[in-house]
């Protein structure tokens, strides 16, 4: 079959399965609202969990600093060549200090971090054990790595321990990798249990706090801060693209691991560095979020209330965070539910396989601290209505 015919047939199959994706036409974003395909909607699909991306005052202040200091819009080179602006050092020093760890390293994105760290640190004599529901970027990292990998059942640490026991003594190094707040289910890893397991079996623990940073912990460091295990986790990663309302990502670790990554991590070495304009903004949002404990509490309370109201309607709403999924099972129902919410003025996107497992399609409500209960209350009835509860 000709190439064009093959890919066109595959796209038809995606349409048939309700899995076909199209880029939305986003024309405006303004505080809680977003204009999508000409319709102004309450945005319940943003990862800007603290609303920092829409903080006009902060943006205006940064615009001044930005023009005064003449920050460039490009770094024009990789960090190992000429792209290593002093703002990198400033940001990494601030991150290491904040976490009380020896060192930090900034990457172009969470995706870059996850496809680079495991392949850099592991080799064919090692083993990677990964939560079954880890993000696609972690899975891609494991596919790139030479080390074999196994997936333990989601949040099932007895299963993880079985795998650890079976693997003990057979590998040079075992790595355990998990998200802290799972992006599609909004449920939480038990980081204390993971630390106990990694210590018992001499494994290295890597925790992706993409959805935990800014939301959990006294200073917004994530679930590792809530669990009191910031010092025990070997590598903690976070992204600037979600609650920190910027672009890029980071990891905190030992100085030795940092040095090793700088020398071996391909997605760090072979890419153009972030522009100074972005680094300066990331520094600002990082510092600001530390002070936003009140907003964090408001966000988690809002999520908990929404979850209770939805569960009271007999809906399947897993998790315990600001990410509130409503499982529909069928792809068509998720799409219909999202359409109904859109008609009523709410943007909640459907999530379908392969992003989530087969038969577990859902709409994913992602809350932010600037929302009030009055803003979201109507969705409870709308969702209950269509799912037939």
Nearer to ligand PLP, 149 or 201 (CB): 149
- Nearest-CA neighbor of 246 among 222, 204, 214, 293? 214
Q: Tell me the C-alpha to C-alpha distance, in Å, between residue 134 and each of 142, 150, 176, 181.
A: 11, 12, 11, 10
- The yes or no reply on residue 328 touching ligand PLP (CB under 6 A) is no
- Per rule CB under 6 A, count of chain residues that contact ligand PLP: 14
* 224-283 residues near ligand PLP, rule: CB under 6 A: 239, 241, 249
- The yes or no reply on residue 110 touching ligand PLP (CB under 6 A) is yes
CB of 372 to ligand PLP, least distance (A): 26
CB of 69 to ligand PLP, least distance (A): 25
CB of 286 to ligand PLP, least distance (A): 14
* DSSP strand pairing (204-208 vs 174-179): parallel
- The yes or no reply on residue 370 touching ligand PLP (CB under 6 A) is no
- The yes or no reply on residue 109 touching ligand PLP (CB under 6 A) is yes
Nearer to ligand PLP, 48 or 309 (CB): 48
CB of 241 to ligand PLP, least distance (A): 4
Among 120, 121, 155, 210, binds ligand PLP (CB under 6 A): 210
CA distance 194 to 351: 28
Nearer to ligand PLP, 18 or 140 (CB): 140
Among 114, 246, 289, 321, binds ligand PLP (CB under 6 A): 114
Nearer to ligand PLP, 251 or 306 (CB): 251
CB of 166 to ligand PLP, least distance (A): 27
- The yes or no reply on residue 295 touching ligand PLP (CB under 6 A) is no
* 167-196 residues near ligand PLP, rule: CB under 6 A: 179, 183
CB of 59 to ligand PLP, least distance (A): 20
* 137-156 residues near ligand PLP, rule: CB under 6 A: 137
Among 85, 135, 198, 322, binds ligand PLP (CB under 6 A): 135
CB of 180 to ligand PLP, least distance (A): 9
CB of 235 to ligand PLP, least distance (A): 13
Interface residues with ligand PLP (CB under 6 A) are 109-111, 114, 135, 137, 179, 183, 208, 210-211, 239, 241, 249
């Amino acid at each position: 079959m000709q190439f064009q015919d093959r890919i066109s047939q595959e796209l038809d199959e995606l349409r048939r399965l309700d899995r076909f994706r199209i880029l939305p036409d986003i024309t405006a974003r303004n505080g809680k609202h977003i204009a999508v395909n000409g319709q102004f909607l309450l945005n319940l699909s943003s990862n800007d969990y603290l609303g920092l991306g829409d903080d006009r005052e902060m943006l205006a202040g940064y615009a001044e600093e930005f023009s005064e200091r003449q920050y460039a819009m490009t770094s024009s080179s990789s960090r190992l060549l000429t792209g290593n602006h002093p703002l990198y050092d400033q940001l990494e020093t601030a991150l290491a200090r904040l976490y009380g760890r020896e060192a930090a390293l900034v990457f172009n994105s969470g995706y870059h971090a996850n496809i680079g760290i495991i392949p850099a640190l592991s080799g064919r004599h090692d083993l990677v054990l990964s939560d079954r529901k880890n993000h696609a970027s972690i899975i891609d990292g494991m596919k790139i790595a030479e080390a074999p990998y196994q997936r333990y059942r989601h949040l099932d640490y007895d299963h993880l321990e079985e795998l650890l026991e079976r693997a003990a003594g057979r590998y040079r190094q075992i790595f355990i990798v998990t998200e802290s707040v799972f992006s599609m289910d909004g449920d939480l890893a038990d980081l204390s249990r993971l630390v106990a397991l990694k210590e018992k079996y001499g494994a290295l623990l890597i925790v992706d706090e993409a959805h935990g940073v800014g939301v959990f912990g006294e200073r917004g460091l994530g679930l590792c801060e809530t669990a009191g295990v910031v010092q025990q986790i070997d590598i903690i990663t976070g992204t600037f693209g979600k609650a920190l309302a910027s672009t890029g990502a980071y990891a905190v670790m030992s100085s030795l691991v940092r040095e090793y990554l700088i020398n071996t991590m391909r997605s760090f070495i072979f890419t153009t560095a972030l522009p100074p304009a972005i680094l300066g903004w990331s520094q600002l949002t990082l510092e600001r979020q530390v002070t936003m404990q009140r907003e964090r509490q408001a966000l988690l309370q809002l999520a908990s209330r929404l979850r209770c109201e939805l569960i009271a309607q007999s809906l399947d709403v897993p998790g315990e965070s600001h990410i509130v999924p409503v499982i529909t099972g069928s792809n068509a129902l998720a799409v219909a539910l999202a359409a109904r919410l859109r008609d009523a003025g709410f943007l909640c996107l459907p999530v379908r396989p392969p992003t989530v497992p087969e038969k577990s399609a859902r709409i994913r409500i992602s809350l932010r601290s600037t929302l009030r209960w009055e803003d979201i209350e109507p969705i409870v009835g709308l969702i209950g209505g269509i799912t037939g509860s």
